[in-house]
């Protein structure tokens, strides 16, 4: 039991401390912290609609959190998940646009494969540069982010945008007619739960991508902790010199880790294009790739922790609008501050460790 709960102590402590700090901010500006947190929990978890939107907002964060966690386990910091998910989302829409007369199921599968492949390829480039030339992955992945935004924005603007459309987006690959989606798409949770007699709100965009995200967590767990390839990857992250001495190729595992990381980040495009908008929409990501870093840190780079951390951040995003509307002096920016404070407390993990050691020594 101790092995199970000890890794949870510091993240839970960081979240509780951040919530207390957030309450102090609310009190300092002259509002009621208890009412604000009631709004937070009620809007995110008290109804089917709240839970649905919370899980919908959490879905891309599960993908990006997993992506960052896999890279972390190999001793790498993938700052480029944002560029990887942007290129993957465009590739998802591009497949649908190029194959308009093909069967929808075939296009759906090919579009999903394109998202995974393009995300992995975009992340594999910094992986190769790191493995072969020693180029730092933080610099190269940040550079790849800017390249991704530039290329995709250009293609959308000048080649795949509907003439006269005021919004920078591609042609749709599927359309909604009489409440039904015509074209390649992922079924939404309403359709998935209806056969079981569960009346889930039809307008909520939560879709099959959430279940795919959970499946991705299971696959990553099995790969990282139950296979020799995952062991080698973790060994390189723990001590690359010792791993090399033991016959494990450091360069190969760096490339593998970065490719897998990019593939996971690219799966955000599946949720965005096939499950929600049915097109590529420029600027769709509110920094999912960077928030994924916080999700991975809070989740201790473990798939189960990533799920819980993503749900927490999804709940914060869901509640922001309600807090902005129903409080007098607290804006939705308070949620952004709370997210930042959570990240700071997680980053200050050693402070909590030091205090815990002091208390343990004093108790003895």
Tokens of 277: 């908008």
Q: Give me the mean pLDDT over the 218-226 stretch.
A: 97
Confidence of residue 354 (pLDDT cuts 50, 70, 90): low
pLDDT tens across 205-220, in order? 999 999 999 999 999 9
Confidence of residue 351 (pLDDT cuts 50, 70, 90): low
**Rounded to whole angstroms, what are the CA distances from 123 to 182, 300, 353?**
33, 22, 34
The answer to whether residue 251 is domain-embedded is: yes
Question: Percentage of the chain surpassing pLDDT 90?
Answer: 75
Q: Provide the number of structural domains found in the chain.
A: 1
The answer to whether residue 27 is domain-embedded is: no
- The pLDDT assigned to 340 comes to 87
- The pLDDT assigned to 178 comes to 76
Per the rule left: phi > 0, alpha: psi between -120 and 50, beta: everything else, 278 is left
- State the sign of the Cα–Cα–Cα–Cα dihedral 215, 62, 74, 92: positive
Enclosing domain of residue 61: 50-337
Q: What are the helix (H) ranges across 239-326?
A: 240-245, 250-266, 268-269, 288-298, 303-326
> Residue 161: which CATH number?
1.10.3470
Whether the pLDDT of residue 142 is over 70: the answer is yes
The answer to whether residue 361 is domain-embedded is: no
**Rounded to whole angstroms, what are the CA distances from 177 to 26, 174, 239, 335?**
45, 10, 56, 36
Q: What angle do CA 171, 175, 177 make, to 5 degrees?
A: 150
Whether the pLDDT of residue 353 is over 80: the answer is no
Show the 3-state SS of 47-69: CHHHHHHHHHHHHHHHHHHHHHH
Q: Is 5 exposed, middle or buried (0-12, 13-18, 19+ CB in 10 A)?
A: exposed
Integer Cα distance of 221 and 62 in angstroms: 13
Residue that wins the pLDDT comparison between 117 and 342: 117
Q: Which residue has the tokens 């922001």?
A: 320
Residue 310 near residue 62, CB atoms below 8 Å: yes
- HSE at residue 58, side-chain half, CA atoms within 13 A, is 28
What does the buried/exposed string (b/e) look like for 198-230 if buried means 16 or more CB atoms within 10 Å of the residue's CB?
A: eebeeebbbbbbbebbeebbeebbebbeeeeeb
Whether the pLDDT of residue 360 is over 80: the answer is no
Average pLDDT over the chain, rounded to whole? Answer: 91
Integer Cα distance of 81 and 157 in angstroms: 23
What is the chain's alpha carbon radius of gyration, rounded to the nearest angstrom? 22
pLDDT tens across 250-273, in order? 999 999 999 999 999 999 999 999
pTM of the shown model: 0.93
Least-confidence region, from 132-146, 294-308, 328-342: 328-342
- Termini Cα distance of the chain: 22
DSSP state of 281: B
Confidence of residue 4 (pLDDT cuts 50, 70, 90): very low
The answer to whether residue 35 is domain-embedded is: no
The answer to whether residue 319 is domain-embedded is: yes
Residue 108 near residue 184, CB atoms below 8 Å: yes
- The pLDDT assigned to 164 comes to 86
Least-confidence region, from 111-115, 304-308, 345-349: 345-349
Q: What angle do CA 63, 117, 144 make, to 5 degrees?
A: 75
Q: Give me the mean pLDDT over the 301-328 stretch.
A: 93
pLDDT tens across 59-103, in order? 999 999 999 999 999 999 999 999 999 999 999 999 999 999 999
Q: What are the helix (H) ranges across the chain?
A: 2-28, 33-45, 48-73, 81-98, 104-133, 137-158, 189-193, 208-226, 228-238, 240-245, 250-266, 268-269, 288-298, 303-326, 333-347, 349-363
Integer Cα distance of 256 and 221 in angstroms: 16
Confidence of residue 1 (pLDDT cuts 50, 70, 90): very low
Integer Cα distance of 113 and 270 in angstroms: 9
């Amino acid at each position: 039991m101790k092995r199970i709960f000890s890794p949870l102590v510091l993240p839970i402590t960081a979240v509780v401390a951040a919530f207390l700090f957030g309450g102090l901010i609310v009190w300092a500006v002259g509002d009621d912290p208890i009412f604000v947190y009631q709004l937070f929990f009620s809007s995110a978890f008290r109804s089917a609609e709240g839970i649905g939107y919370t899980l919908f907002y959490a879905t891309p964060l599960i993908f990006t959190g997993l992506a960052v966690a896999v890279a972390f386990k190999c001793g790498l910091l993938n700052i480029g998940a944002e560029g990887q998910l942007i290129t993957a989302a465009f590739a998802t829409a591009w497949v649908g646009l190029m194959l308009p007369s093909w069967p929808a199921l075939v296009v759906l599968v090919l579009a999903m494969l394109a998202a995974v492949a393009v995300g992995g390829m975009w992340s594999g480039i910094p992986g190769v540069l790191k493995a072969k030339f020693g180029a730092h992955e933080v610099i190269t992945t940040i550079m790849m982010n800017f390249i991704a935004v530039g290329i995709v924005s250009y293609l959308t603007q000048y080649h795949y945008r509907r003439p006269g459309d005021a919004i920078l987006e591609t042609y749709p690959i599927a359309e909604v007619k009489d409440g039904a989606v015509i074209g390649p798409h992922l079924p939404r949770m309403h359709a998935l739960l209806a056969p079981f007699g569960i009346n889930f709100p039809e307008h909520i965009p939560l879709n099959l991508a959430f279940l795919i995200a959970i499946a991705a967590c299971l696959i990553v767990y099995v790969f990282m902790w139950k296979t020799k390839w995952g062991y080698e990857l973790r060994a390189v992250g723990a001590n690359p010199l010792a791993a090399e001495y033991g016959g494990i190729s450091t360069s190969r595992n760096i490339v593998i880790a970065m490719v897998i990381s990019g593939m996971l980040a690219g799966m955000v495009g599946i949720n965005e294009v096939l499950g929600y908008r049915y097109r590529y929409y420029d600027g769709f990501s509110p920094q999912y790739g960077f928030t994924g870093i916080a999700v991975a840190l809070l989740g201790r780079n473990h798939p189960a922790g990533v799920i819980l951390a993503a749900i927490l951040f999804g709940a914060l995003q869901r509640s922001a609008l309600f807090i902005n509307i129903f409080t007098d002096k607290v804006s939705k920016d308070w949620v952004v501050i709370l997210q930042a404070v959570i990240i700071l407390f997680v980053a200050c993990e050693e402070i909590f460790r030091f205090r815990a050691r002091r208390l343990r020594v004093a108790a003895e």
